[in-house]
Chain A
């Protein structure tokens, strides 16, 4: 059982990072417009995040240094500062989207106005950050997020034409009704959503929170190999549900209730209730992750004391940062901005910030001063280099595609 709970960090990182509100929305939108023709991007993203999260986790376990400390150390204050500004802004946008997502999910369950739920959701997130032990937090949020398996159950109950889904996926054949630029815009968005930098910030800092050492390298590997593919599988189920139900009906996803429509159709009220609970848990987990990441990045850049394992008073500025981030998120949401739209933006911007995060990780994972005998092997380095090229291409293409397609519309 202890071994089983040992993978909780990976499961929470994956559930919160992979199936957060951004992926829920992006996958459902993609499924309803492009069928399964973008499934390859999810697979590409899963391999990439497994590669770099395991590297970041290994660096943290062996050297005790979390990812943003490494970014500052290798890139110097200037380039690392640019990364900090970008990452912090994306983090804040994502946190805003997640808190809004919790409110939307609770609205779906209770039909109480989402704006009333926003402060409640933010307060609940803060209370967990302030009070709850790290391990309990990751176990509860991760395990409840597993209820999202309901999407996979729904897919089986819908009894789709599997051959047709497969034909859409391999070789990828985008529907003729869509412009190729939109197709590539969503490819970048999905890739950005899968490899969002805050997943490695959270995962590596979580390794420090759990006091991983060289002995935990096996746990590290198990975590990423179970967690992220699981997240990818859930993402694909969401897209497939949308491809089966919403694509033929010509529904364009613009709200959370449309995302769960296939679940309601397939599994009835009970499955719907479980999936909504799963969405609340996953968005709540992602809100915790992004709030913590805002504290982690700033504290690690400036060298402040940080970590949930410390008393709040022993990491005062870290906790203050998270409080300010949550207050800003409430402020943004109170302007009645649509969290779903905020999410779609933040996902594309995270593609732009990817290289500045992943280059230093790859460099330090090869530095014997940090890693001793645990430096990268040849295969990992070869794969890592290939991914850096992909990451740079996605980063360069993101903004032009966004402008050319009018954000995919």
Chain B
């Protein structure tokens, strides 16, 4: 990844990526980076001795398996493709709006089924009153 002035900037995955806040294109919080998905040079399986790259940010249930062990079934892993990442700073900024990501269906469920149904749930607090 290149930084200002065109120099190569070293990014330490543990220090600069893991547990950082992910923001969408409008600066809205999406999730925290709970784990990273790695892929081989052709996007396939990672094999020892070969070059690998980060292919996706993993969020959600993977945090529990990182803390307590076990494995999340592959199909149930909410992921944000690394191609959607625009900038890595003190937060990780995406180039897409959060509504386009299906990584976070729980927030949508709580919003549509609970919070938005309570009177005033869509009221803008900055608009006064």
Contact = CB atoms under 8 A, between A and B. Distances in A.
Q: Do A and B come from one complex?
A: yes
B28 interface: yes
A374 interface: no
Interface of A: 63-65, 69, 72-73, 76-78, 80-81, 130-134, 299, 301-306, 308-314, 316-317, 319-320, 369-370
A64 B21 CA distance: 11
A317 B67 contact: no
A303 B29 contact: yes
Nearest to B16: A369
Nearest to A320: B110
Contact of A65 (B34, B91, B110): B91
Interface string B24-44: 000011111110000000000
Interface string B104-129: 00110011001110101111111011
Contact of A130 (B31, B33, B34, B120): B120
Contacts of B98: 305
Contacts of A134: 125
Given A65-B90, A305-B28, A316-B107, A77 B63 contact: yes
B85 interface: no
B126 A303 contact: no
Q: By DSSP majority rule, is chain A's interface helix, strand, loop, or mixed?
A: helix
B122 A73 contact: no
Contact of A133 (B20, B67, B91, B128): B128
A319 B114 CA distance: 10
B121 A313 contact: yes
B125 A76 contact: no
B19 A72 contact: yes
B28 to A, nearest CB: 6
B81 interface: no
Contact of B116 (A76, A309, A316): A316
Contact of B18 (A76, A304, A313): A76
Given A309-B125, A317-B106, 8 more contacts: A69-B32, A73-B19, A130-B118, A305-B30, A305-B98, A305-B107, A311-B123, A316-B111
Contacts of A65: 21, 90-91
A312 B29 contact: no
Contacts of A72: 19, 32
Given A73-B19, A304-B31, A312-B120, A64 B125 contact: no
| Residue of B22, B31, B63, B111 with most partner-chain A CB within 10 A | B111
Contact of A63 (B22, B90, B110, B121): B90
Contact of A302 (B31, B110, B115, B122): B31
Nearest to B64: A77
Interface residues of B, number: 37
28 contacts: A72-B19, A73-B21, A77-B19, A77-B63, A77-B67, A132-B125, A133-B125, A133-B126, A302-B31, A303-B22, A303-B30, A303-B31, A305-B98, A311-B123, A311-B124, A312-B116, A312-B118, A312-B120, A312-B122, A313-B121, A313-B122, A316-B107, A316-B110, A317-B106, A320-B115, A369-B89, A369-B90, A370-B90
Contacts of B126: 133, 309
Contacts of B128: 133
B115 A319 contact: yes
Interface in B41-89: 59, 63, 66-67, 89
10 tightest A-B CB contacts, nearest first? A303-B32, A316-B111, A303-B31, A316-B115, A316-B110, A313-B116, A305-B29, A73-B19, A312-B121, A63-B90
Contacts of B91: 64-65
A314 B28 contact: yes
Contacts of B89: 369
Contacts of A131: 120, 123, 125, 129
Contacts of A306: 29
Contacts of A63: 90
A320 B128 CA distance: 22
A78 to B, nearest CB: 6
Nearest to A306: B29
Nearest to A73: B19
Contact of B125 (A305, A311, A316): A311
Contacts of A313: 111, 115-116, 121-122
A72 B66 CA distance: 14
B18 A302 contact: no
B81 to A, nearest CB: 17
A130 B119 CA distance: 10
A209 to B, nearest CB: 10
Interface string B91-102: 100000010000
Contacts of A305: 28-30, 98, 107
A302 B33 CA distance: 9
